[in-house]
Amino acid sequence: MKVSLAVFLALTLTISIQAEELPNVAVAGEGALVSSRQIFDLADKPTKESHASTIVETPNGLVAAWFAGTRERDPDVGIRVSRHENGQWTDSVEVVSGVQSSMLRYPTWNPVLFQPSEGPLMLFYKVGPNPREWWGMLTTSQDGGKTWSWPTKLGEAHTIGHLLGPVKNKPVELADGTILCPSSTEIEYADGSSHWRVHFEVTKDLGKTWEVIGPIQTGETFHAIQPSILTYPDDRLQI
């Protein structure tokens, strides 16, 4: 009984302390939270599930994208896009999918929107049955996300296999216009082991040609994926 009471008091004290440490709920328009709203009505969702959202500011306004379908990994998962116009978000539209033929369709994954200082709006995404076998794709928009080009495959490199572009988080644009994409691979071997490795993909011509830097670690000592890049005013980069 004494043990049970001690455990109860300890749990109560822990919960009380944690509650006191919690910050107040953010309110739109106050502090760092500028705005908060749903793009679509949760009672009338266009798809069963939505995941991995990305947003970008363009000369024409905000554009958002995400992958959506029955559930992650299902072949009906495509990339949907919505634009912020006249104070509200437009109905989302599926702009790309993983259709390979009339008999084969793969899921899409991890869209990344990026607006270079000069050039069209870029939408990177992945297609494939799983993260170990997927490949990178790119489509672009000249009108702020209203219409999109025919998607193209990014290509391959002998060091990593399929190019992926930015695997999940945004690229950064360097002073000379070079686009540096944080990326990673998940490799599974026949013995059941796997290596997660970080690398970078670089393009100087808006995705026409690519250079790969890394992987920067072997994946044997520790696993790492989905890097993000932080830029500093003195041009230093941190991942």
Sequence-distant (≥ 6) Cβ neighbours of residue 75 within 8 angstroms: 69, 98, 105, 106, 107
Mean pLDDT computed over 213-239: 93
Are residues 143 and 225 both part of a single domain? no
Mean pLDDT computed over 118-124: 98
Q: Are 218 and 190 in contact (CB under 8 A)?
A: no
Kindly state whether residue 58 falls inside one of the protein's structural domains. Answer: yes
Tokens representing residue 20 in the block: 């006191």
Residue 162 has pLDDT above 90, yes or no: yes
Mean pLDDT computed over 100-128: 98
Local structure of residue 54 (DSSP, 8 states): E
Are residues 118 and 202 both part of a single domain? no
Are residues 144 and 217 both part of a single domain? no
With tokens 């709006």, the residue in question is 121
Are residues 56 and 134 both part of a single domain? yes
Q: Which domain holds residue 209?
A: 164-239
Extended strands (E) in the chain? 49-58, 61-69, 78-85, 88-89, 93-96, 108-114, 121-127, 135-141, 152-153, 156-157, 161-162, 172-173, 179-188, 194-203, 211-213, 230-231, 237-238
Are residues 53 and 102 both part of a single domain? yes
Kindly state whether residue 6 falls inside one of the protein's structural domains. Answer: no
Are residues 171 and 148 both part of a single domain? no
Task: Return mean pLDDT, the chain.
Answer: 90
Are residues 138 and 169 both part of a single domain? no
Mean pLDDT computed over 76-83: 98
Q: Count structural domains, the chain.
A: 2
Residue 210 has pLDDT above 70, yes or no: yes
Q: Is 83 helix (H, G, I), strand (E, B) or coil?
A: strand
Residue 19: per-residue pLDDT: 54
Instruction: Give the confidence band of 191 by pLDDT, cuts at 50, 70, 90.
Output: confident
Q: Are 153 and 139 in contact (CB under 8 A)?
A: no
Residue 22 has pLDDT above 80, yes or no: no
Are residues 47 and 146 both part of a single domain? yes
Weakest-pLDDT range from 50-64, 151-165, 210-224 = 210-224
Are residues 229 and 187 both part of a single domain? yes
Residue 31 has pLDDT above 90, yes or no: no
Residue 124 pairs in a beta bridge with 112, 138
Kindly state whether residue 25 falls inside one of the protein's structural domains. Answer: no
Kindly state whether residue 7 falls inside one of the protein's structural domains. Answer: no
Are residues 125 and 193 both part of a single domain? no
Residue 37 has pLDDT above 50, yes or no: yes
| C-beta atoms surrounding 44 within 10 Å | 6
Picking from 119, 153, 187, the residue at the C-terminal end of a domain is: 153
Residue 24: per-residue pLDDT: 78
Percent of the chain at pLDDT exceeding 70:
92
Residue 33: per-residue pLDDT: 78
Are residues 174 and 113 both part of a single domain? no
Tell which residue, 204, 119, 130, has the closest CA to residue 162. Answer: 130
Tell which residue, 195, 189, 170, has the closest CA to residue 181. Answer: 170
Residue 238: per-residue pLDDT: 96
Kindly state whether residue 12 falls inside one of the protein's structural domains. Answer: no
Weakest-pLDDT range from 17-26, 57-66, 132-141 = 17-26
Residue 26: per-residue pLDDT: 77
Kindly state whether residue 159 falls inside one of the protein's structural domains. Answer: no
Residue 2 has pLDDT above 80, yes or no: no
Percent of the chain at pLDDT exceeding 90:
76
Kindly state whether residue 110 falls inside one of the protein's structural domains. Answer: yes
Kindly state whether residue 214 falls inside one of the protein's structural domains. Answer: yes
Residue 62: per-residue pLDDT: 97
CA–CA distances in Å: residue 179 to residues 49, 173, 193, 205: 31, 5, 33, 8
Instruction: Give the confidence band of 215 by pLDDT, cuts at 50, 70, 90.
Output: very high
Q: Is 228 helix (H, G, I), strand (E, B) or coil?
A: coil
Picking from 96, 118, 153, the residue at the C-terminal end of a domain is: 153
Are residues 138 and 197 both part of a single domain? no
- For the entire predicted model, the pTM comes to 0.86
Picking from 122, 153, 184, the residue at the C-terminal end of a domain is: 153
Mean pLDDT computed over 19-39: 77
